Structure 1
């Protein structure tokens, strides 16, 4: 039966309130800690800004989820899936935070992503051969949401919308309601003006959680729903990687060539671009709701083609340096 937000128990509601309080406290603590993201040539910001806001989101989610599930009288059958997710999130959060403080080689981060994705996938009961595509998809989605976290509110807003939609389908509703609450608690600190950035410590574990949503309901269409919700993000990242590969650029090298970055560099306001990507997530949910695969594909692909053409046309005339 589809989940109704009116069915939240008082215990789950209290857990959500506790998550809001804890998330805000941790974010304020990270602001005071002063771990700064200093602007470089590829940055969208112009002054040093605290990072690590994801500590608040992920920390509040991990600490408040077990009591929330207990209060909701959740079935013991979901314990392995939840355990696998939390192990993966803790691993990614720890590695990402250490990298935020003192960067280390990308291969170590990629290895951590694979281990985290394997833990999350095994927890859902996945076995070979479906384990392999699950893990590869989870790693790609985790990186895609990390790549897209380059302007205020874009990644956190898309992930909050995705979590709310996943919750409304009845798929691990307590977990995704709580995740959405934590993301929405962070959003005012990052949009429209950023007092703090989410950082890899937020985007990577939460990206894994969204991908996990597609794994847990595999066979019910949840994997397709996750792709539809993230269609704007996945299109942007895939198009950018393909374009850079064709140009002979190093794919692992940091750059400012994503569509959302080109849109901002061409003069479009950051809040407008952010809200557009939120709209892509909502439009993806609407496309999925049609229940018709051809209709859904057309509803998703045609706007992305139009957006890509528009941004590239603007970039050719308004972006001076190479992109």
Structure 2
């Protein structure tokens, strides 16, 4: 419904026109992320209302369960949502009139800092280092994750293929108590919003997320991963986004060695190379989606095995699966293989 209401404005003011770095060939409206963020805000409010006050009791969950949302939980959820809206507004402005890199990055760091402040009291992701240093690393890592999510949103349905398995896994982990209620509600709301957006972004896309969507999605997913890590699921939090981290990280290193302006758009990600070397968009997406489902299974295994040694094995196996995917994408389709 929101996409239907917003589409005339997006067609008029937010058209993405093809250029040398584009994967599309026709002018296409962008900014569909505004509908995604709006839906998450509404669904998050409804979910927290249902699980707050007498909600958990009415649904069969006691006030002390991982489903209950108390006053502090409301505050954390709305703080994280506010941070997502802030970074989304920065992205919306950048979609219409590109911002200089430094002010844009500064605003993103502020938004991530707000989201990190919404983690539960006493939550520790890296308990073996000082709290101030841990929070600094989370802000820097979160800002990086927000931007890599934006960089990876360069193909129809790519964000869908990544975000749906990750948010579905985090929502399931909430059900088993591995994620807090505020983060779990946001992940479930984001999962539904992405599924609602997916038909409009199906190849060949009729609508793009735009920076307003990719940046906000990156921040919300980062918040969910930080929450998972703070509750003893550090290995799972590393495993879930491993494909995005590997593809964007290796590409970034390669571009830095070439002396490229790494903040500018490009077509050197592994999934983009795969299309240039003969794979169809759907073939790439199928490989990415299957890999992400496998990563979600490894992340779940690391949570329920309850062993640091076995979690290390899960991380190693996940890295191997991602390495096989990247090798497949980098090679492309052999010249002798028919489409």
Gaps of 5+ in 1: 1-20, 319-323
The aligned runs of 1:109-120 (5 Å cut-off) are 109-120=104-115
Structure 1 equivalent of residue 79 of structure 2 = 84
What SS does the aligned partner of 1:218 have? helix
Aligned to 1:308: 326
Q: Does 1:279 align with 2:258?
A: no
The answer (yes or no) to whether the contact 2:277–2:331 under 8 Å persists in 1 is no
Inter-CA distance 132–26: structure 2 relative to 1 (3 Å threshold): farther
Please tell me whether residue 95 in structure 1 is matched to residue 90 in structure 2. yes
1:68 pairs, out of 31, 47, 63, with 47
The CA distance in 2 between the partners of 1:169 and 1:306, in whole Å, is: 27
1:123 to 118, 125, 144: 118
**Alpha carbons 1:54, 1:199 under 8 Å: kept:** yes
The farther-off stretch of 194-203 and 293-302 is 293-302
2:271 is matched with 260
Partner of 2:300: 289
Unaligned runs of 5+ in 2: 53-68, 124-130, 303-309
User: Contact conserved, 2:32 with 2:209, CA < 8 A, in 1?
Assistant: yes
Q: CA offsets per residue over residues 113-152 of structure 1, 9 Å max, x none?
A: 1000000001214652321111112111111111110011
- For 1:1-323, what aligned pairs fall within 5 Å after superposition? 21=1, 23-26=2-5, 28-33=7-12, 35-73=14-52, 74-124=69-119, 125=121, 128-170=132-174, 171=179, 172-291=183-302, 292-314=310-332
Distance apart, 1:75 and its partner CA: 1.9
Q: Deviations over 1:5-29 (max 9, x none)?
A: xxxxxxxxxxxxxxxx4x4434545
3-state SS of paired residue (2:139):
helix
1:198 shift after superposition: 0.6
* Structure 1 residue 196, shift from structure 2 partner: 0.4
User: Partner residue of 2:62?
Assistant: none
Q: Distance in 2 between matches of 1:257 and 1:303?
A: 21
Cα shift at 1:31: 4.9
2:57 aligns with none
Shift of 1:236: 0.2
- Contact 1:30–1:52 (8 Å) recurs in 2: no
CA distance in 2, matches of 1:32, 1:48: 9
For residues 293-317 of structure 1, the C-alpha deviation after alignment (integer angstroms, 9 at most, x for no partner) is 2321222222222233333334998
Aligned partner of residue 229 in structure 2, secondary structure:
coil
Deviates more, 1:76-85 or 1:23-32: 23-32
> d(CA) in 2 for partners of 1:244 and 1:80?
41
Asked whether the equivalents of residues 32 and 207 of structure 2 are also in contact (C-alpha less than 8 Å), the reply is: yes
TM-score normalised to structure 2 length: 0.81
C-alpha change, 1:274 and 1:250, in structure 2 (3 Å) is same
Aligned equivalents of 2:42, 2:86: Cα separation in 1: 15
